[in-house]
Amino acid sequence: MIKRTLLAFTATALLSLSLFAADKPDFSGNWTMNKDKSDFGPMPPQMTPEKLSRKITQKEDDLKATTTQTGSRGEMTSELEYMIGKSGKVKSQMGESEVSPKWDGSTLVVASKRETPNGTFEIEERWELAADKKSFTVTTKISGTPMGDIVTKVLMEKQ
C-alpha cells in the first residue's frame, strides 16, 4: 500500500513538473515578421518596419534577443537580454528602460517603462507561441504616447 501510494505521488509530481515546464515555451530560433499578418494599429507607416527579424536564444529563464528591423529610418539592430522573473534595466538605441519580464501561464509578458523628452512611455509586450511552435505573436500595448494608447500585433514566423 505504501509503495502504491508513493508511486502514485511520484507520478503525480512528475506530471505536475512536466505540465509546469510545458507552460514555459522556448522561443529559441530565427524568426521573421510576416507583415501581411501583422497589425500596427494607428502607427504612421513611416514608423512601422518593412522587415523585422529576431534571433532568440533561451535557456530556461535566460533570454537573449537580437532584433534587426528595416524601415524609413534605415536598418537598426538591438540586443536585449532578460532574466525572466527578475526586473532590471536594459539599454537600446532608443535609450534605457526599466523592464520586468515574467511568465503569465504560457505567455511571456515583458513590461517596460522608458523616460523620454515627450514623457514616460509604458510598454507591455505579450509573447504567445503557437501550438505548432512555427510562429509567435507579440502583442504590444504602448501607453503615454501623444497619440494615446497604441496596440500592435506582430506575427513572427520561424525560419
pTM (2 d.p.): 0.81
Q: Is residue 143 included in any domain, yes or no?
A: yes
Q: Is residue 10 included in any domain, yes or no?
A: no
Q: What CATH number corresponds to the domain at position 38?
A: 2.40.128.20
As a whole number, mean pLDDT of residues 98-105 equals 96
**14 to each of 2, 11, 19, how far by Cα in Å?**
18, 5, 9
**Three cell numbers written together for 35:** 507583415
78 CB burial (10 A radius; 0-12, 13-18, 19+):
middle
* pLDDT at position 148: 87
Q: Is residue 100 included in any domain, yes or no?
A: yes
Q: Is residue 7 included in any domain, yes or no?
A: no
Rounded CA-CA distance 108/27 in Å is 10
* pLDDT at position 110: 97
Q: Is residue 151 included in any domain, yes or no?
A: yes
pLDDT cut 90: percent of the chain above it: 67
14-30 residue pLDDT tens: 333 333 445 799 999 99
- pLDDT of 119 strictly over 70: yes
Rounded CA-CA distance 116/76 in Å is 19
Show the domain range for 41.
26-158
43: left (phi over 0), alpha (psi -120 to 50) or beta: beta
Q: Is residue 8 included in any domain, yes or no?
A: no
Q: Is residue 12 included in any domain, yes or no?
A: no
Number of domains comprising the chain: 1
Q: Burial code of 92-111, b = ≥16 C-beta within 10 A, e = fewer? A: eeeeebebbbeeeeebbbbb
63-96 residue pLDDT tens: 999 999 999 989 999 999 989 999 999 887 677 8
Q: Is residue 36 included in any domain, yes or no?
A: yes
